[in-house]
Amino acid sequence: MKRILYTALICCTAVLTPSCVDDLNQYPHTETTSENIYHTRESYFQVLSKIYTAMVTNGQEKNGSADLSTNNGQDYSRCLFNLQEVCTDEVAYTWLSGENLTAINDLSWDANDSWVSDMYYRIYYNIALCNEFLRHATDEAIGGFSAEDQTEIRRYRAEARFLRALFYYHAMDFFRNIPFVTENDPVGSYIPPRYTAQQIFDFIEDELNDITEGSDLLFDRSECPYGRASKGAAYTLLAKMYLNAEVYINEKKYDECIAACNKAIAQGYTLEPEYGKLFNADNHLRTNEIIFTLPIDAATTVSWGAGTYMVCGEISNTSSTEDYSPARFGATNGWGNMRIRGAASVLFDSDDLRGQFYTTGQTQEATDLSDLSTGYLVTKWTNLTDDGQSASNTAQDGANTDYPLFRLADVYLMYGEAVARGGQGGDATTALGYVNDLRERAFGNDSENVTEADLTTDFYLDERCRELYWESTRRTDLIRFNKFTTADYLWEWKGGSANGTSVDSKFNIYPIPSTELTANPNLYNENY
């Protein structure tokens, strides 16, 4: 059985961004105090569990008791996916108006957009949970515990620091220059300063290096419990940040990206032989390749985002053909939310096993976003176990399919791209081996292997789509290649135009919500 981090039945007393206390109803309210939470090692683990599960649930209960009062009310993972994927060539979303996603699809959002706001406040709520935990996990605070318990709590502390670094990475990637607050700042009416992307970058870099090399150490891969952060996760996050450093801080960090990739690979990960098994209900067994995942479970951690969103969202709710039904995916019903746009699906050869699409009765081009027959249907995600059984009643309890956030395949492709961009510390021969390992899995043999001459940066952009589509990387990738807002690459309905059009470069960054600007005079948006 899948080991899941249980959701703690407590709420931290943390605030969100403290500037908003009197302006927004965005905070958890509880009479529980730190004195009756942080008294045993187990209670520390409960709070840490809350931070982990806050990425896939929106509150303490399956359908109620939400952590935040928000516009859309969805969890962190669903916000992350929508802001990373719906605005790109990889997702044709059906119910744009009903889900308030039209502006995200059209790349026309503003500082009042509900999904932008939800993502922002989800990030800072989670940062606040981390800060509150860390305030109570100092060496002084745990000095009365046994030596064994102190060692464990320091490990929890390292994990909380990783999670906070991840949340700050998402904040920097989406919003760039952002408010910054840590456990060392006061709680209450404190107004956080505006940190530049360079300051955030430096903070994340220092934190990740410290929890892999310092006194608060993450687990090595071989000893890390399922669903928790290991050193491999920290190295992968560093690699992602270094690969995009030119975007964030206008400085090349490809040498550092290669070094971080090498450290992640040295943890001993290996490719899963079957691509499809990375995205089924038994994908908790794929810790050989999956470096960091967002676990969900129909019994203990029900989510309407993460794997549930992928499984149910990809299934057409109008198809009645014998070879295509919700049961084929281990689902009770389909939501009919998403397909893939033709600009992305055309990148796949017909015998590429990663191109898991249902094409019968479908046009390849998404000529009408409201018409489920336009754009291929994706069949990448299932709620089936390895032996083909449905893992849960998705209508009642969601899917049992975890959402892989970091995979070895991504590390291989980051290594290769950094080499192609001139990074030192790696070589094209090693990169070629990594790429062809992925392609041999994709095609079942070496018939579609590539040569070193094929390993251009554009090749890596296309290969990342083929390998990682719907895994919340595409927007960041397109921005790195200067193809997200420009006319250099167009897809159906980019910019709200049927054939696609360029948009203002300001849309490479999401705006800080207008409600936050009102509450914190230190903040402002460029160009919005």
Q: Where are the domains of the chain?
A: 14-88+102-171+494-528
Residue among 122, 22, 9 at smallest CA distance from 60: 9
Stated as kind and residue range, the H or E segment containing 127 is helix 114-135
**pLDDT at residue number 151:** 96
Q: 228 CB contacts (<8 Å, ≥6 apart)?
A: 5, 52, 159, 219
E strand or H helix at 410, and its extent?
A: helix 408-420
Tell me, what amino acid is at 240?
K
- Tell me the angle at which helices 428-443 and 408-420 cross, rounded to the nearest 10 degrees: 140
Alpha carbon distance 40, 45 (integer Å) = 9
Residue 285: alpha-carbon gap to chain centroid: 20
- The predicted structure's pLDDT at residue 18: 40
Neighbours of 371 (CB within 10 A): 14
Strand partners, 59: 66
Backbone φ/ψ region at 121: left (φ over 0), alpha (ψ -120 to 50), beta: alpha
CA 244 to each of CA 230, 256, 349, 391: distance values in angstroms, whole numbers, following the listed order = 22, 11, 28, 38
Q: pLDDT value at position 435?
A: 98
Residues 6+ apart with CB under 8 A from 464: 410, 413, 417, 473, 474, 477
Go through 301-330 and write b for each residue having 16 or more CB atoms within 10 A of its CB, e for each that does not.
bbbbbbbbbbbbbbbbeebeeeebebeebb
CB-CB contact of 477 with 461 (8 Å) = yes
How many angstroms separate the Cα of 260 from the Cα of each of 165, 274, 279? Answer: 16, 26, 26
pLDDT tens for each residue of 40-54:
999 999 999 999 999
> Which tokens sit at 113?
């957009």
Q: What is the pTM of this model?
A: 0.94
Residues 6+ apart with CB under 8 A from 36: none
218-229: b or e for each residue (b if 16 or more CB lie within 10 Å)? bbebeebeebbb
Tell me which amino acid residue 424 is. Answer: Q
Reported as a single tens digit per residue, the pLDDT across 368-387 is 999 999 999 999 999 999 99
The pair of three-digit structure tokens given for residue 457, joined into one six-digit string = 């940066």
Residues 6+ apart with CB under 8 A from 486: 502, 505
Class of domain 14-88+102-171+494-528 as given by CATH: mainly alpha
**Which two structure tokens, joined as six digits, stand for 422?**
């001139």
Residues of the chain under the 50 pLDDT cut: 1, 3-4, 6-31
Which pLDDT belongs to residue 246?
A: 98
> According to the model, what pLDDT value does residue 467 have?
98
Between helix 254-265 and helix 408-420 the angle, nearest 10°, is 150
| 8 A C-beta contact, residue 344 and residue 89 | yes
Distance CA 71, CA 51 (A): 22
Distance CA 24, CA 125 (A): 13
CA 403, CA 309: separation in Å to the nearest integer? 10
Q: How far apart are CA 105 and CA 289, in angstroms?
A: 32
CA atoms of 461 and 480, how far apart (whole Å): 9
The span from the CA of 203 to the CA of 201, in Å, is 5
Q: Where are the alpha helices (DSSP H) in 320-372?
A: 342-345
Interatomic CA distance for residues 108 and 168, integer angstroms: 24
Enumerate residues 6+ apart whose C-beta is below 8 A from 60: 7, 9, 11, 67
pLDDT of res. 396: 95
Please, which residues have CB within 8 angstroms of residue 456's CB and are 6 or more apart in sequence?
420
Question: DSSP assignment, residue 222?
Answer: G
Of 291, 237, 292, the residue nearest 260 (C-alpha) = 237
